[in-house]
């Protein structure tokens, strides 16, 4: 059984398991109702389903005109909508402002003052304002969001938005969140003890480190192969992998957290430019791998148009500095480009271009991962470890299969080269044999002619001698 057949069977099992999971999880619904807001006892947050009992309310401010005082009165009048699970708060694509309210209490007197935190497990929110009362009863606000510098955040040890819960005594404390954005408004809230929060942050960063580590290892390994083999497709692969790594780090907030924490502009610029750069080199890699200039000429021309478009959008962004339009176009172009390249690979497989089947499986993994992640953001699938990391798993599998495909492709090219050399040698041997036979025939003719000349010479000499003898007589 060949390698591509093994991959095909494995992918069938994965897809079957995924659709079964979709059916099982289809009962996920964020039910809403208007009820009195319950108090969260922080020492019970680990109990199953505890936070699903009307512990968090929200109000939608479509005009973005409400002040915090208006919001407080509205929540006191029980005008808030309840969510069944704080971890599943997702308002979908919306330009409205949303106010979220929750009440917490630390009932253990010996542990009052223990540090508690809460986290919004979604890094792409334009504005996040956290309102709370200090010890003097004065209303305070912590303003943050991905439109503000990372250094302005309360807790800086995570790419997500995290805040300390200022709890001063055993009384009920009420907190308010104001969130706003121009894209997906996902606000999954998780409460932690401070110790547990840091251990969870380490676990999450370890998972992300594994993703980036795999991409970098694959990149450097294939870069080494490029210097050895001098094949252009290896260089295009390396550029694409590094582009995806930078784009993913920009998208999930790691680049903002660790490198551009002082500059929103540089963080945004890197997201736009790395996105278009990654797709540019993806198209270039597919062209080099499938040799579309020879095998699929019309697809090659269309892919060239896509590459010029990516360059044009990057130049427009650098010249105008407009962020929203290039990002919006990138969001539209990304799936369409991936689908286009996937169809090109499908056609290449139909034409039986070597290793094209592996590219199909690679694209299926990344498309499936992105699709699941998109369904989570669209509030179709629940927020979970699987849906949160499906994007990264998909692109990790894609990178690995691409690398395997390169190895298969190189072996195929090597076999083709060996066969070509063998055919050339056989052709040369035939020509040498034919030339040798021709030379032998020519040699035989020359020998025959020499013999005839020698015989003629002898006859002439004999005649000369005969004439001389007669003359002497």
Which residues have a Cβ under 8 Å from the Cβ of 7 and sit 6 or more positions away? Answer: 357, 358, 361, 401
Phi then psi for residue 162, to 5 deg, are -135, 145
pLDDT computed for residue 382 by the predictor: 87
| Pairwise CA distance, residues 13 & 131, whole Å | 48
Instruction: Let me know if residue 170 belongs to a domain.
Output: yes
Residues 68 and 192 in one domain: yes
Domain boundary among 196, 219, 240: 196
| Total domains, the chain | 2
Mean pLDDT, rounded, for 307-314? 94
pLDDT digits (tens, 9 = 90+) for 169-206: 888 999 999 999 888 899 999 999 888 999 999 999 99
| Pairwise CA distance, residues 405 & 361, whole Å | 10
* Angle (deg, nearest 10), helices 232-251 and 194-229: 160
| Pairwise CA distance, residues 208 & 202, whole Å | 10
Instruction: Let me know if residue 442 belongs to a domain.
Output: no
**Domain CATH for 407:** 1.20.1070
Domain boundary among 163, 196, 229: 196
Domain that holds residue 79: 29-196
Residues 276 and 402 in one domain: yes
Residues 111 and 65 in one domain: yes
Mean pLDDT computed over every residue of the chain: 85
Phi then psi for residue 275, to 5 deg, are -65, -50
Report DSSP letters for 350-411, one per residue. Answer: HTT-TTHHHHHHHHHHHHHHHHHHHHHHTTSS---HHHHHHHHHHHHHHHHHHHHHHHHHHH
pLDDT computed for residue 22 by the predictor: 42
Mean pLDDT, rounded, for 133-157? 90
Domain boundary among 174, 196, 218: 196
Tokens of 64: 């973005």
Report if pTM > 0.85: no
Instruction: Let me know if residue 426 belongs to a domain.
Output: no
Residues 173 and 249 in one domain: no
Higher confidence at residue 27 or residue 342?
342
């Amino acid at each position: 059984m060949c390698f591509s057949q093994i991959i095909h069977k494995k992918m069938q099992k994965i897809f079957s398991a995924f659709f079964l999971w979709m059916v099982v999880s289809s009962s996920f619904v964020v039910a809403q109702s208007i009820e009195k807001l319950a108090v969260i006892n922080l020492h019970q947050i680990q109990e199953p389903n505890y936070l699903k009992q009307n512990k968090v309310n929200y109000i939608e401010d479509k005009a973005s005109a409400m002040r915090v005082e208006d919001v407080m009165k509205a929540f006191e009048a029980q005008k808030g909508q309840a969510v069944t699970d704080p971890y599943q708060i997702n308002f979908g694509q919306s330009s409205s402002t949303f106010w979220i309210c929750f009440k917490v209490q630390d009932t253990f007197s010996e542990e009052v003052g223990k540090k508690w935190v809460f986290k919004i497990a979604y890094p792409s929110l334009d504005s996040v304002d956290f309102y709370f009362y200090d010890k003097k009863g004065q209303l305070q606000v912590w303003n943050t969001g991905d439109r503000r510098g990372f250094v302005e955040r309360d807790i800086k040890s995570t790419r997500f938005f995290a805040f300390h819960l200022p709890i001063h005594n055993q009384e009920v404390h009420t907190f308010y969140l104001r969130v706003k954005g121009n894209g997906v408004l996902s606000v999954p809230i998780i409460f932690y003890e401070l110790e547990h929060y840091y251990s969870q942050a380490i676990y999450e960063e370890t998972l992300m480190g594994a993703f980036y580590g795999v991409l970098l290892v694959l990149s450097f390994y294939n870069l080494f192969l490029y210097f050895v083999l001098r094949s252009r497709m290896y260089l295009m692969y390396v550029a694409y992998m590094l582009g995806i790594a930078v784009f993913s780090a920009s998208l999930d907030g790691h680049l903002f957290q660790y490198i551009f924490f002082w500059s929103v502009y540089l963080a945004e610029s890197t997201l736009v430019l790395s996105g278009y750069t990654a797709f540019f080199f993806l198209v270039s890699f597919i062209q080099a791998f499938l040799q579309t200039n020879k095998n699929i000429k019309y697809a090659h021309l269309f892919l060239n148009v896509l590459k010029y478009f990516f360059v044009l959008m990057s130049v427009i962004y650098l010249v105008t500095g407009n962020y929203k339009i290039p990002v919006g176009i990138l969001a539209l172009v990304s799936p369409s480009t991936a689908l286009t390249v996937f169809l090109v690979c499908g056609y290449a497989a139909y034409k039986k271009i070597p290793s094209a089947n592996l590219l199909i499986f690679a694209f299926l993994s990344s498309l499936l991962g992105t699709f699941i992640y998109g369904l989570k953001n669209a509030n179709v699938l629940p927020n979970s470890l699987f849906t949160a990391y499906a994007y990264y798993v998909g692109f990790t599998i894609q990178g690995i299969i691409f690398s395997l495909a390169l190895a298969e492709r190189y072996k195929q090219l090597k076999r083709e080269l060996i066969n070509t050399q063998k055919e050339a040698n056989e052709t040369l041997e035939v020509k040498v044999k034919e030339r040798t036979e021709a030379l032998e025939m020519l040699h035989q003719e020359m020998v025959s002619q020499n013999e005839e000349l020698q015989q003629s010479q002898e006859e002439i000499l004999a005649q000369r001698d005969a004439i001389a003898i007669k003359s002497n007589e």
